Structure formats: C-alpha cells, structure tokens
Amino acid sequence: MTGKLPANPADKDFESLVFDFKYDKEQFKDPAALGLMLYRLAREREQTNLLFKEILKRLDELSEKLSAGAPAAREAPVVERGLSETDAEILRFVRQAGAVDAEQVRRRFGYKGKNAASARLNNLYNRGLLKKTRAGKKVLYHA
C-alpha cells in the first residue's frame, strides 16, 4: 500500500472553479468579449420579457373566463374565504332578498331564536361581506 491518499473530489471541483474564474477574469479585460456578454444578456432579457408577456396574457384570458362563468362558480370563493356552508347560504339568501333582518333569517334557516341568526349576520357584517342599517328597532343587513 502506498502512502498517497486518494484525491478529494471537492479539491478537483475547487480547482476547476478557480480555473474558470481566472479565465473569466482575463476575458473581462477584452472589450469584445465584454460586449458579446452584454449582447447575450440583453437577448436573454428580451426572451424573459416575452415569456412574462405571454404568461400575463394567459392569466388575463383565464380571469375573463372565470368572471364570465356561471353564478355558482362566482359564489364558490365565498366558501373558500373560510365561511361555513351555513354562512355561505345566509349570504346567498341576503343577496337574493336584497335586505333581511334577523327574524327573516331565523325563519328561513329554522333557528329557535333570533340571537343565533343575529350572531351569524353580525359575523358576516364584521367580515365585511354585509352592510347593516337601522330601520326603527330593526337592523337590516344588505349585500
């Protein structure tokens, strides 16, 4: 057995990197090489910008398709915002009716008292999904 240790692969990688760095350093002194590099960089930037334009165009097309979709598809994000199915149904009910009070929600959804209906409506109001106004003693909720 010889006393020589096998070469470390990391040392070879380092030597290669140092060689590349020294070569590039010499190339930066040549104005023609520097100009070529800047030209290639500009071309690459143009290609990247074209790619981004294509991506934005496709996103706009998708957005238009989604906004022109069925009403059920437009209401789906409501459930995604963290609303329970019941809250989403109450929100649809308010949108259909135009304006409702807690008593109407109580009757429609079968709550025993107005407190539960009022709490649900206030929760939707606090999330910014409903507006409320007073009409005498009644509080009306609007979409």
**Rounded Cα distance, 120 and 133, in Å:** 16
**Rounded Cα distance, 43 and 38, in Å:** 9
**pTM of the full structure:** 0.45
**What single letter denotes the amino acid at residue 66?**
L
Backbone angles phi, psi at 138, to 5 degrees: -85, 145
Q: How many CA atoms lie within 13 A of 113 on its CB side?
A: 3
User: Which residues make beta-bridge pairs with 142?
Assistant: 99, 131
**Rounded Cα distance, 133 and 93, in Å:** 17
What is the reported pLDDT for 6?
54
Q: What is the pLDDT of residues 37-81, one digit of tens each?
A: 889 999 999 999 999 999 999 988 888 888 776 554 444 444 546
Q: What is the pLDDT of residues 89-137, one digit of tens each?
A: 999 999 999 999 999 999 999 988 888 899 999 988 988 889 999 888 8
DSSP letter at 138 equals E
**What single letter denotes the amino acid at residue 7?**
A
- b/e map 42-64, b = 16+ CB within 10 Å: eeeeeeeeeeeeeeeeeeeeeee
- Label residue 105 exposed, middle or buried (CB < 10 Å: 0-12, 13-18, 19+): buried
Nearest to 24 by CA among 11, 33, 12: 33
